[in-house]
Structure 1
Amino acid sequence: MTDSTPLNILLVDDSRIARLTMKHMLQSLEMSLNLLEAGSADEAETVLSTEHADIALIDFNMPGRDGLELAAVITERYPHIRMALVTANIQDALAQRARDLGMEFLPKPASVEQLGAFIRQDT
């Protein structure tokens, strides 16, 4: 990515309000970002079939497949995408499962600083 090329970030959360909140926080970072949205694992796969994403911020608890099941698919099909599990389900075992998939674990609600550090790879 160059300074003029936007970073494509996929937000995956079944809560429209949670996605909207994350969008506002990400837009406050004053970075060149293109934000993509999905309300489920299935929608995320549909988006990824037509759009390029550099980063995916994924909720854990969603109807249908959970965030870790989606992350396993993304890891297999799109290994270049960096991922973070952004969830209110704060359990050590869940955080470890996320790390085992190569994901960052961010407790929800994540702060602007936490999101910015992950996006900028300052973690």
Structure 2
Amino acid sequence: MSSAPRKTLLIVDDSRVSRMMIRSLVTAHRPQWTIHEAVSGDEALRIVAESVPDHITMDINMPGTMGTDVAERISHEHPGLRMVLFSANVQDSHQSRARSMGAKFVAKPVNEKSVLQALNFFDEGL
């Protein structure tokens, strides 16, 4: 029996509660994954510049640089990286922008259902 692949996930969200929920739910379903966190898009860019994760969850509405702008920059520099954009703002423009960069849009709130949607999207890339 082979063990599940060891992946790295970067959680980007200015909400500590959202980061904790995503971390907790991902750890429950993918205990072998290594998880890093960033509280802003700018911090995410610094982390990705140092070490590219396998997957990213990105909040759209954060102070400073919008998550969609950060995601677009990262997807341009690392086209194979799988990203999920989380937002309570379900405007068509956010959803179509996510699709245009090959990312998945998942509506908040962060809960088991939304995190499982993200994990299923990540698994599609295997």
Same fold by TM-score, threshold 0.5 exceeded? Answer: yes
Preserved CA contact (<8 Å) 2:71 2:83: yes
1:74 correspondence with 2:74: yes
What TM-score results when the alignment is normalised by the length of structure 1? 0.88
Corresponding position of 2:28: 28
Question: After the TM superposition, which segments of 4 or more aligned residues of structure 1 sit over 4 Å from their partners?
Answer: none
Preserved CA contact (<8 Å) 2:84 2:118: no
Q: How does 1:34-113 map to 2 (within 5 A)?
A: 34-110=34-110, 111=113, 112-113=115-116
Gaps of 5+ in 2: none
Distance 1:30 1:71, change over 3 A: closer
The Cα RMSD (Å) is 1.8
What TM-score results when the alignment is normalised by the length of structure 2? 0.86
Preserved CA contact (<8 Å) 2:56 2:83: yes
Gaps of 5+ in 1: none
Distance 1:30 1:45, change over 3 A: closer
Corresponding position of 1:115: 118
Preserved CA contact (<8 Å) 1:23 1:35: yes
When you count helix as a share of all residues, which structure comes out higher?
Answer: 2
| Alpha-carbon shift at residue 31 of structure 1 (Å) | 4.4
Provide, for residues 65-116 of structure 1, a one-character-per-residue CA deviation record: whole Å limited to 9, x for no partner. 1111001110122222111111111112210111111111111124243233
Count of residues paired in the alignment:
121
